Structure 1
């Protein structure tokens, strides 16, 4: 009798786990999309540096399937992977930028790729 109860409880737990995995497998990017949306609502798409040629931060539009970017550093290795959260909407016009004084210029001897004022933003298509 106890064996049957333990066997039934194990079967129910296994089936419950399979059903949860099946439900999560239907849309694996749903959690990522919600995270990206919430992050983009609270934070700007650019960093503290402006691009030398334009005097403002510049968006490098990448395909909408891109999820990660790599930043490189000179000297002691600080190569990092960062998620790409921001995405332009379909009705996005040319984004405005703040005055030049609000951002830092690229240093004379840059030590990191984040100091060039080019920021990844996923495209709307």
Structure 2
């Protein structure tokens, strides 16, 4: 009797696990897309530094399927993987981020982080 109960509990567990994966199998990135959309609605696509060639933050357009970026910094364990939230729409043109004096230059000689170069990743349109 105990063996039958154990087999029935195992089958019930497998049935519940397969039902849970079928409901989530529709779009595995749906929650990430909602989170990225909400994040990009109230935060700018750029940081506080400008690229030296343009005098404004510069968008580095990456394929729309890219989700993460690597940032590097001086020091131990300051290299990070961060998500790319912002994405251009199909009708996006290239307006400037703000006036030229609104951003800081790249610190010299202490360039301590890749975010200080004024180039920021933005995913391309779908």
- TM tier relative to shorter chain: 0.7 to 0.9
| Separation of aligned partners in 2, 1:75 and 1:31 | 33
Uncovered stretches (5+) of structure 1, i.e. residues with no partner? none
Q: Which residue of 2 aligns with 1:102?
A: 102
| Separation of aligned partners in 1, 2:77 and 2:32 | 28
Q: Secondary structure at the match of 2:25?
A: helix
Q: How many residues align?
A: 125
Runs of 4+ in 1 over 3 A off after TM superposition: 1-14
**Are residues 1:121 and 2:117 paired?**
no
Uncovered stretches (5+) of structure 2, i.e. residues with no partner? none
Supply the RMSD in Å over aligned alpha carbons.
2.0
Q: Could you tell me the TM-score, scaled by structure 1's length?
A: 0.86
Which structure 2 residues correspond to residues 34-49 of structure 1 after superposition, within 5 A? 34-49=34-49
Q: Could you tell me the TM-score, scaled by structure 2's length?
A: 0.86
- Residue 18 of structure 1 and its aligned partner are, at CA, apart by 1.3
Q: Which residue of 1 aligns with 2:70?
A: 70
- Residue 101 of structure 1 and its aligned partner are, at CA, apart by 2.2
